[in-house]
Amino acid sequence: MNAARPLPGAPHVHYRGNELYVEDVRIADAARAHGTPLFLYSKASMLAALAAYQRGFAGRQAKVFYALKANSSLGVLQVFARAGCGFDIVSGGELERVLAAGGRPADIIFSGVGKTRREMRRALDAGIHCFNVESEAELDVLSEVAQEAGTKAPVSLRVNPDVDPKTHPYISTGLKGNKFGIAHRDALRVYRHAASLPGIRVVGIDCHIGSQITEAGPYMDAMERILDLVAAVESAGIPLAHIDFGGGLGISYNGEQPPAADALWKQLLELLDARGYGQRQLMAEPGRSLVGNAGVCVTEVLYLKPGEQKNFCIVDAAMNDLPRPAMYQAYHAVVPVTASEATASSYDVVGPVCESGDWIARDRSLAVQPGHLLAVLSAGAYCMSMASNYNTRGRPAEVLVDGAAMHVIREREDTADQLRREKLLP
């Protein structure tokens, strides 16, 4: 057998000879069995990414809470639940997904700026670990809901430290102009208010500054500001049982070199130790860094359309399947499923959706013909979790790869699935 040639940033996606594989599954075989567009996820890749966090936390009171907004498919959640992860949720629907996948309520953190009373009550009844509260108004409502339920809501305040994560503005969450969290300057006052409310039990502090962060510096700056606040809050007589530093660690889409999770946490723990907080209960909420490079979207070339200024490679995947390029102008590597020595041309890879924003990749050198298969890499995060049925397109199937085995974790949608809950007029 030819030696495997891993692709940059995706060690479990590799060529053997001219054929692209995910673990021990030949992608062309998966596409033949399950059709395209198709999402394939490497279980080994997910567990390897998780292991880096677990190594970084070794010997500490620490727990990883997977941020399932990155990819909330039940089969993916099962992988992390069985590996001992908790879960960071941002909606009542995500709560039900975690429970359906076998997650424990006591291992759930509820984040998000707009929790409803119904969602709060359901989470309290389930017995979740805590709420990450993002505003003073939310605190007051949560206290009322908890009193009605005859309990106290465990609360961690999400503090906005006003630190620039140096990422895309749409995924920056820790600056003054972002909607998330409680301003650093207001946090001590809001903690005092929280401690005074009859339906609130203060248990910790939370910070999350953004997503796809590729440098350690913003994390270090945020930690310094948060630890200053921990000292001030506890000096005011409000103990904080845990410190939660959120997630946001980036992955390699286009040659980025973010720190490895264990290396990042080595730096953060050194700072924690120096400030005297190293033995505190610690939490992290990674999402993209656990699943992003585990995923591949397989798509078939439909047509080649030459033009005066651009050549277009039209494929059967679209912005409803892979929203990141349309939303963030995001880069995904695109490679042939079967490598060829034929002469390559420059193409924009675009989908069938009736929008100019429906593009997957721009100015890519590809040797392709109609019927060929392409693999869009690093598609495990914020693709299927944000996918839609725009243009009445069914969402793709999802398959979890475990060695040579393939497990269908989401069946392909057809039009009947989409019409099932709609009603004609009488």
User: Total domain count for the chain?
Assistant: 2
Share the mean pLDDT of the chain: 93
Residue 159 lies in a domain: yes
- Within a domain: 248: yes
User: Does one domain contain both 262 and 305?
Assistant: no
Band (239; pLDDT cuts 50, 70, 90): very high
- Sheet strands (E) in 216-331: 242-244, 281-284, 295-305, 312-315
Please say if 354 is a catalytic residue: yes
pLDDT band at residue 386 under the 50/70/90 scheme = very high
Residue 346 confidence class, pLDDT cut points 50, 70, 90: very high
Binding-site residues for pyridoxal 5'-phosphate, in ranges, read: 248, 285-288, 382
**What is residue 148's predicted lDDT score, i.e. its pLDDT?**
98
pLDDT the model gives residue 165: 53
- Residue 352: pLDDT above 90? yes
Q: Is residue 404 part of a domain?
A: yes
The answer to whether residue 282 is domain-embedded is: yes
Inter-axis angle of helices 136-148 and 117-126, nearest 10 = 60
Annotated binding site: 248, 285-288, 324, 328, 355, 382
Q: Which residues are known binding-site members for substrate?
A: 288, 324, 328, 355, 382
Please tell me whether residues 163 and 257 are part of one structural domain. Answer: yes
Is there a single domain that holds both residue 299 and residue 399? yes
Q: pTM of the full predicted structure?
A: 0.94
Q: Are residues 142 and 29 in the same domain?
A: no
pLDDT digits (tens, 9 = 90+) for 74-103: 999 999 999 999 999 999 999 999 999 999
Q: Which of 269, 286, 303 is the last residue of a domain?
A: 286
Does residue 171 sit within a domain? yes
Kindly state the average pLDDT of the residues 320-333: 94
Together in a domain, 147 and 225: yes
Claim to verify: residue 273 and residue 382 sit in the same structural domain: no
Asked if residue 69 is part of any domain, the answer here is: no
CA 158/CA 141 separation, integer angstroms? 16
In this structure, the answer to whether residues 329 and 281 fall within a common structural domain is no
Examine the domain organization and report whether 120 and 259 are in the same domain.
yes
Q: Which of 130, 207, 354, 383 is catalytic?
A: 354
Query: Which residue range is the domain that position 281 belongs to?
Result: 111-286
Q: What CA–CA distance (Å, rounded) separates 118 from 144?
A: 12
Given a contact cutoff of 8 angstroms between Cβ atoms, the answer to whether 375 and 36 are in contact is no
Asked if residue 47 belongs to a domain, the reply is: no
Q: Averaged over 174-193, what is the pLDDT? A: 80
What is the tens place of the pLDDT at every residue in 25-42? 999 999 999 999 999 999
Are residue 339 and residue 302 in the same domain, yes or no? yes
Listed in sequence order, the residues at least 6 apart from 290 whose beta carbon sits closer than 8 Å to its beta carbon are 46, 49, 50, 53, 66, 70, 80
CATH assignment of the domain containing 401: 2.40.37.10
Asked if residue 348 belongs to a domain, the reply is yes
Looking at the fold, whether 169 and 226 belong to one and the same domain comes out as yes
Q: Which residues pair with 39 in a beta bridge?
A: 297, 398
Percent of the chain exceeding pLDDT 90 equals 84
Domain of 209: which CATH number?
A: 3.20.20.10
Domain boundary, last residue among 286, 312, 331: 286
Query: What's the gap between Cα 418 and its chain centre?
Result: 25
Same domain, 204 and 348: no
Classify the C-alpha dihedral 52-210-190-112 as positive or negative.
Answer: negative
Q: Which of 231, 265, 286 is the endpoint of a domain?
A: 286
Residues 311 and 271 in one domain: no
pLDDT band of 167, cuts 50, 70, 90: very low
